[in-house]
Structure 1
Amino acid sequence: SQLSFINVQNRGNFRWPYDGLYQDEDGTLSGVVGGIVLSPDGLWSTSTTCTQTPNFLNAKTCPSSVGRWVRYAFNNANLAPNGEALFIYDTSNHYTIVLNLKKRLTHPDGYMMDLLTRQSYLFQFNGANSSVNLSYTGVVYDLVPGDYLIIRHNIDYIPDRVYTTSSSILAASSNTPLTAT
């Protein structure tokens, strides 16, 4: 809030995808009051709602009307030893690629991304046998009551178990797919 830049050409540069999110409370960072500044990815690079951020080397600004963003991170996926590239598709069939990287913010290695709440995403691992046997441990940060994420996987068989942990309480598994309603 109330940022000022004197003789500065570049206000920011995201070093890697999902480096962070900035909320511009008063418009002094991005020119959009309440806007969210984020690194561009395949889900938002083609968006007409989000615009190129002036004075940033590589950033998009989305208005707050787009919704709330949360960080999602996971690790311990039972994939190849080096991990596999993760393809994330939204309901409009836009996609982004997230790599398994070392030294993530909350996990020694794994996947980390920013996702828009109240959305459904399809996760597919490149070249992995994840359609038969898939497990991982993940955390959603700053999810508030009323918000949700639906993460889908293409699985060839009905899973033996599906666990969801919320506030340290294990929720009962269900054979019924989740919906946004």
Structure 2
Amino acid sequence: METKERTLLDEQAIRRALTRITHEIIEKNKGITDCMLVGIKTRGIYMAERIAENITRIEGESIPVGEVDITMYRDDLSPASSTLDPELKGTSIPINLDEKRVILIDDVLYTGRTVRAAMDALMDAGGRPSQIQLAVLIDRGHRELPIRPDFVGKNVPTSKDEMIAVRFAEVDGTDEVMIQQNK
């Protein structure tokens, strides 16, 4: 099967999208008091770190950044695959979540199942946030759960046979978002 690939966002477009998301987060929350960024592993954490850097540059103060591993909260691990030990990457929430506005961050929003799993993992991490907001780089549609992002870098209507590949320099050596069409 041949795969056709085209660029949706290059390095500059990703930087602009994350800068816009940063400004929207600051504006919606009237600053960053009682806010925390939580990246969904793997690429969501790189987005969260970049947004935190933008916030520090714009607001002159830092925002706590955490990361959440949804491996044990996925609803697509079948009983047959549960005999294999899933690779746990760890959840790290540096502050108590009580009464905090948590901005959950992921690279691509598709069915909504990853976000649901991340919210479950957050609740198990302890504390009760006053609000959970969602920031995504790409919203590709096809929701299976009633989940809507608060902050979106780019809406990309896709077909189910297309795939979005987000690459960040921290893990992939380059910054780009590609759409792949299987032929």
Higher helix share: 2
Coarse TM-score class (shorter-chain normalised) = under 0.3
Larger Rg over CA atoms: 1
TM-score (norm: length of structure 2): 0.27
Higher strand share: 1
